[in-house]
Amino acid sequence: MSKNLVLWLVIAAVLFAVFQNIGSQTQQKPMAYSDFITDVRSGQVKKVTIDGLEIIGERQDGGVFKVIRPNVIDTKLMDDLYNRDVKVIGKLPEKPSLWQQLLVASFPILVILVVFMFFMRQMQGGAGGRGGPMSFGKSKARLLGEDQVKTTFADVAGVDEAKEEVQELVEYLRDPSKFQRLGGQIPRGVLMAGPPGTGKTLLAKAIAGEAKVPFFSISGSDFVEMFVGVGASRVRDMFDQAKKQAPCIIFIDEIDAVGRHRGGGHGGGHDEREQTLNQLLVEMDGFEGNEGVIVMAATNRADVLDKALMRPGRFDRQVHVGLPDIRGREQILKVHMRKVPMDDAVKASVIARGTPGFSGADLANLVNEAALFAARANKRTVSMEDFEKARDKIMMGAERKSMVMSEKDKIMTAYHEAGHAIVGYLMPEHDPVHKVTIIPRGGALGVTQFLPEDDKYSHSRRYLLGQISTLYGGRIAEEMTGGEDAVSTGASSDIERATQIARGMVMKWGLSDLLGPLAYGEDQGQFPGTGSPNYSGATSKLIDEEVRRIIDERYELAEKILDDNKDILETMKDALIEYETIDSEQIEDLMQRRDVRPPRDWDDSDFNSHIKSEPKGDKKSEDDKKPGPIGGPANES
């Protein structure tokens, strides 16, 4: 504001001088010089005052006149005035006032100063002082005022326990005296940890929206630069700004970018990150208190954070924001469905039951994809059929209908997917087969989709062994129908996943009778990749032998199952060639050796058609990952 004021004052002074000069010239009209000479010679002029080229005179009768003398040398004028006894008065040239002299002298300097200030302001990032080349030491935190944050707890669903944990933060920001009367202190920092897409950032904004306080938002990567000390400077600047706005909330997203374990300080970038972390530690719980400033952070890698950052007095409250259960998914779906016109038959509870393992972001994407499918079909509302298509796209990938497959590739893909489906159907505690397709989706030529009947939080040994057998079902079906030379590279991802499961059973989960309930891995080194195995070479050999034994046993079991059900393999292959996609009811017909019913018109019951009234085995276990399909042969050319 002061810089603009100086500029306007300079402009006003110039305009004033111009108008003053103009005003001094707007007087009576001067008489002709020839008439003036005639009056002088006729004795009518009594007195004249000569000021440069201007002559102001007085007549004998008292009249006043003004004459502009031509800019030529007239030597006879003074003789005429003296001979007629005219009183002649001279006048010194008018000097400019002191302030005018100062203005004229300082005007170039003022112009240079204003231009310099303008460029400095632009280099510092404009009015906000952010983003310019000279602002590398300034905080990049974005400030949202108390009226700008519109998110409230009504917009956050599926994380009831997390909301209860942070509810008292809202009460403290609204009325700090309520806690201070009893000597209580609100946590200085709140760390929200959980898988991606579960609503950590949304929950932080909801706290600011409920409390009606300023909200500073920044990413952990915004602190780290190539110059040592810049990150620490930004931390100081951010907290200085926050203190002026207190009470307020500072939200640091992906704090693991700056808060990782400190090491030996080797390397410039490492030194910079450590200095930034040290400054953050001091600001949160150093000699100077930050009353009224609550720091919230989010990460999905809480295990890599420095211990000093996690101690009481800093991030002394940890809130786990996990994947929602079936009730939470229903609430999240209702929040997102409010923005989309829904068909009367759409039920959030039905969709929630058929989407186990989905995060809040996955469900938001599901609603959006369903709305896009409805828009492509020129519908006015979104139906359950649109949600089924959207779920298939998210879980299996988009259909590649334009891809032309040869008849040989179609047949081999049909055998491959039928092998997955048959083995998976007959495995105990396995997720039910929901859909099998030979339409290329994503990077696979075909997909077999399994969906669990309910939420799971752990897996049994029987379930994991069944998974290994199912993964090899596609490769075995190719080998049984085309011979060893017909086996394709499409089973590469299946082999990789099966090997990971078997190695995890031996080394992580203690599910091997030979090696027992011990964990085999690497001791954590000072830096990533510098650890060493915590087991001997002899144990390493035993691990390899045990993994190989598990794979061989499950491979032989899957081979026996398909050999006993060759007729089902052939009929399922024929059904896939005819219909391209078969659902759970058609798979049930095939497995019971009944005639396959044709695809029926879609209705609401199809969305959860994989869920049976009497599920096979014990379904009390689950992974925190969303259930995924088993892909067919990859499109590897």
pLDDT confidence bin for 616, thresholds 50/70/90: very low
Please say if the pLDDT value at position 492 is more than 70: yes
Residues 6 or more apart whose Cβ sits within 8 Å of residue 377: 386
Taking each helix axis from N to C terminus, what angle separates 2-24 and 98-123, rounded to the nearest 10 degrees? 150
Q: CA-CA distance, 409 to 48, in Å (whole number)?
A: 118
Cis, peptide link before residue 599, omega less than 30° from 0: no
Please say if the pLDDT value at position 488 is more than 70: yes
Per-residue 3-state assignment (H helix, E strand, C coil) for 134-184 = CCCCCCCCEEECCCCCCCCHHHCCCCHHHHHHHHHHHHHHHCCHHHHCCCC
Tokens 């059929």 -> residue = 385
Q: Which residue has the higher pLDDT, 510 or 285?
A: 510
Query: How many CA within 13 A on the CB side of residue 94?
Result: 9
Taking each helix axis from N to C terminus, what angle separates 566-579 and 407-426, rounded to the nearest 10 degrees? 130
Q: What percent of the chain has pLDDT over 70?
A: 80
Please say if the pLDDT value at position 500 is more than 80: yes
pLDDT confidence bin for 625, thresholds 50/70/90: very low
Work out the end-to-end distance of the chain between its first and last CA atoms, rounded to an integer number of angstroms: 65
Q: Which residue has the higher pLDDT, 79 or 531?
A: 79
pLDDT digit string (tens) for 225-280? 655 567 778 888 888 888 888 778 888 888 888 888 876 444 444 567 788 888 88
Q: Give me the pLDDT at residue 629, please.
A: 56
What DSSP string runs through 541-579?
A: HHHHHHHHHHHHHHHHHHHHHHHHTHHHHHHHHHHHHHH
CA 599, 600, 602, 603 torsion: positive or negative? negative
pLDDT confidence bin for 83, thresholds 50/70/90: confident
Q: CA-CA distance, 435 to 353, in Å (whole number)?
A: 16
Please say if the pLDDT value at position 634 is more than 90: no
Q: CA-CA distance, 225 to 352, in Å (whole number)?
A: 44
Cross-strand bridge partners of residue 253 = 219, 298
Q: Give me the pLDDT at residue 470, please.
A: 92
pLDDT digit string (tens) for 346-392? 888 888 888 888 888 899 999 999 999 999 989 999 998 899 888 88
Of residues 417, 478, 479, 546, which has the active-site annotation?
417
Q: Which three-class secondary structure state does DSSP give residue 94?
A: coil
pLDDT digit string (tens) for 207-220? 878 878 888 888 87
- Tell me which of 41-55, 94-108, 299-313, 571-585 is least confident: 94-108
Of 466, 420, 417, residue with least CA distance to 619: 466
Contact criterion met (CB below 8 Å) for 252 and 296: yes
Residues 6 or more apart whose Cβ sits within 8 Å of residue 342: 381, 382
pLDDT digit string (tens) for 289-337? 556 788 888 888 888 888 888 888 888 788 888 888 888 888 899 988 9
258-289 burial: b if 16+ Cβ within 10 Å, else e: bbbbbeeeeeeeeebbbbbbbbbbebbbeeee
Residues 6 or more apart whose Cβ sits within 8 Å of residue 511: 461, 464, 505
Q: What percent of the chain has pLDDT over 90?
A: 13
- Tell me which of 47-61, 109-123, 239-253 is least confident: 109-123
Q: CA-CA distance, 175 to 629, in Å (whole number)?
A: 51
Q: CA-CA distance, 377 to 498, in Å (whole number)?
A: 40
Q: Give me the pLDDT at residue 471, please.
A: 93
Mean pLDDT of 441-468: 83
Please say if the pLDDT value at position 627 is more than 70: no
Residues 6 or more apart whose Cβ sits within 8 Å of residue 630: 420, 424, 447, 448, 449, 450, 470, 471, 474, 494
Q: CA-CA distance, 373 to 367, in Å (whole number)?
A: 10
Angle (CA) 578 571 480, round 5°: 115
Q: Give me the pLDDT at residue 219, please.
A: 82
- Tell me which of 279-283, 545-549, 581-585, 616-620 is least confident: 616-620
Cross-strand bridge partners of residue 181 = none
What CA–CA distances, in Å, run from 209 to 148, 169, 406, 559?
8, 12, 58, 59
Q: Give me the pLDDT at residue 513, please.
A: 87
Q: CA-CA distance, 519 to 534, in Å (whole number)?
A: 9
Q: CA-CA distance, 333 to 350, in Å (whole number)?
A: 11
pLDDT confidence bin for 547, thresholds 50/70/90: very high
Q: Which residue has the higher pLDDT, 635 or 87?
A: 87
Active site residue 417: yes
pLDDT digit string (tens) for 126-138? 444 445 444 444 6
Q: Which residue has the higher pLDDT, 469 or 151?
A: 469
Q: CA-CA distance, 447 to 357, in Å (whole number)?
A: 19
Mean pLDDT of 466-480: 91
Q: Which residue has the higher pLDDT, 454 or 393?
A: 393
Tokens 């979104």 -> residue = 382
- The strand pair at 45-51 and 54-59 is best described as antiparallel
What CA–CA distances, in Å, run from 507 to 182, 533, 535?
51, 12, 11
pLDDT digit string (tens) for 14-40? 666 655 554 444 455 788 888 888 888
Burial class (CB in 10 A: 0-12, 13-18, 19+), 589: middle
Torsions phi, psi for 305 (to 5 deg): -75, 150
Angle (CA) 175 211 153, round 5°: 130
Please say if the pLDDT value at position 623 is more than 60: no
Q: Give me the pLDDT at residue 550, please.
A: 94
DSSP label of 295: E
Structure tokens at 387: 């949600």
Contact criterion met (CB below 8 Å) for 210 and 152: yes
Contact criterion met (CB below 8 Å) for 489 and 635: no
Q: Give me the pLDDT at residue 615, please.
A: 35
pLDDT confidence bin for 435, thresholds 50/70/90: confident
- Tell me which of 18-22, 395-399, 451-455 is least confident: 18-22
Q: Give me the pLDDT at residue 222, please.
A: 75
Please say if the pLDDT value at position 530 is more than 70: no
Q: Which residue has the higher pLDDT, 423 or 101?
A: 423
Tell me the pLDDT of the chain averaged across its residues. Answer: 78
Q: Give me the pLDDT at residue 4, please.
A: 60
pLDDT confidence bin for 454, thresholds 50/70/90: confident
Residues 6 or more apart whose Cβ sits within 8 Å of residue 545: none
Structure tokens at 620: 């009390």
Mean pLDDT of 68-79: 79
